[in-house]
Structure 1
Amino acid sequence: MTSPTPVPNPVQAARALLKELQQTFPAFRDCLPLAIGIDKQIIALQPELPRKILRIALGQHTNSLRYLKSAEKATHRHDLDGKPGEALTDEHRLRATTLLKERFKKEADQRKAVRAKEAEARLAAEAMQLAAEAARLHTEKLSQLAAKFAK
């Protein structure tokens, strides 16, 4: 009995495809804003590509930090060869700016939460040390009193 061949994880397959696209096409390699309908151009060149995997790969690419920064400043979209095409609309530049701001805010909030937890842990450790020191002083004082009255 043969074991079934493992089904590739779509996200991993999309990453592999994206690396291939970056090696093959200047628009992907240089993270240029892509022309609308670029998926159709890719499918025309490579009809064997699974559309689902291509969609995931395009999503990973167009939501990457590098792509969004490029789209935020660009004036035109580009074909697969990197040649400029139609103008990039203000709406699309604004979307890139908004996504970047949201991502940076989320990352800043996460860093802030980590720092707050670290500070809380430090305070708890300091409180435990203070409590231990207080208990030690209390025990020492009791020992001194016991020694004084034991005479």
Structure 2
Amino acid sequence: MDRNRLPWVYVAYASYCLLIAVLYGGLGLVVAMDWQFGVLRAPADRPDHHALPSIAALCLAIAATFAVGPFLPRRPWAWTYGLFLILVGNVFALPLTLFWIGRGARGYYARIPECVRVISEFPHASRSAARFPGLRRG
């Protein structure tokens, strides 16, 4: 696999992260505005007035956590961070999870050992030739 080419699962992951970040960020801003200015309800009708800053801060922290995901470097720990975001983010992201643990995303983040990359790029190569480059047959 060409390491410089974006796999489609990365594009789906980046779209998912940015969508979740926008949704939670918008929710956090609406809750913060409601707490500060009473945008949605009158101040007398808000029994949860003391919980609103915590809810707004939690929503904005979740938004920041997801917004950072697509911009992380292509390192093995960033693949693990992405898997965490997918698993924690939404139950409906199961198809994305299945493709994320596949070869495309793992190869993009360098999570596949070099010998496996050699074998997948050259199907006629044997595993012993990939492990021991100096060993030649016949």
Bin for the TM-score computed over the shorter chain = 0.3 to 0.5
TM-score by length of 1: 0.30
Q: Which has the larger radius of gyration?
A: 1
TM-score by length of 2: 0.32
Higher relative contact order, structure no. (Cα contacts within 8 Å, ≥ 6 residues apart): 2
Q: Which has the higher strand share?
A: 1
